[in-house]
Amino acid sequence: MKEMKDVKDKDMDVEDIKEEVRALQIVAEAWRPERILAWAFETFEEGVAISSAFGVEGMVLIDMASRVRQNFRLFTLDTEFLFPETYNLMDQVEQRYGVTIERVYALNSPEEQERVHGPALWQRNPDQCCHLRKVEPLQRKLSELQAWITSIRRDQTVTRAGAGKLEWDARFGLVKINPIADWSSKQVWQYIRAHDVPYNALHERNYPSIGCTHCTRAVGPGEDPRAGRWSGSSKTECGLHIIQPLVNPPEAGA
């Protein structure tokens, strides 16, 4: 397995790291998720963490990670607007997998945000709300890391279609790893059932994609799985994932 052991050196030049990522990027496309996770944990040690909102894809990744390494870092962006079912699932994750979720919060509480920006910012300016409660907290968290692991898939949105399993995240300045980028929703649910992985109860109530309470609704028959996110607006992403597309990326599920 080709490695980037030198990336452990925090003084390594950013351009050298980016070159190492480019050299390994295409090779990594053939790796199974477990192999990518093993590589990430070996290469970056405590400098890598899984980012999760505890959707069904995230639960697959957490379960896989637990089979690769007993102790791994896991963080979430707690907007303080999450569903009770999401918080319940977080408790289950800590109990089942023996990990402590690193909860990252916005600089202002919901009450402070309302005082400064007015009520229901998520309705008037959802991009600003996402920036305050997700993007800025993520930026702070990623400044502590050398690499982050996500559960995004290429077929989720148009903007994610070019995601590689291994990338240089130019926006946040570190390595980004997407082990199940080429998986389909069918593969995700097959894994969940095969390994009896817990998942958010809202998935059983027509919530295929789950975010904050104010900006998530159940989807109707025939609707896109992400139609329940920021419904009624053109917004499709919270702004965390800016993709540098692969050249001729493999098709999902290949």
Cα–Cα distance for residue pair 253/168, rounded to 1 Å: 22
Q: Exposed (0-12), middle (13-18) or buried (19+): which is 66, by Cβ within 10 Å?
A: buried
Tokens of 155: 């077929």
Catalytic residue among 129, 130, 215, 238: 238
Residues 6+ away with beta carbon under 8 Å from 67 = 34
What is the CA angle 134-51-1, rounded to 5?
145
- DSSP H helices, 71-125, are 84-97, 110-117, 121-124
Residue with tokens 């995004």: 152
For the chain, how many helices (H) and strands (E)? 9, 6
Tell me, yes or no, if 238 is annotated catalytic: yes
Amino acid at 144: E
Dmax of the chain from CA atoms? 53
The residues annotated with a catalytic role in the active site are 238
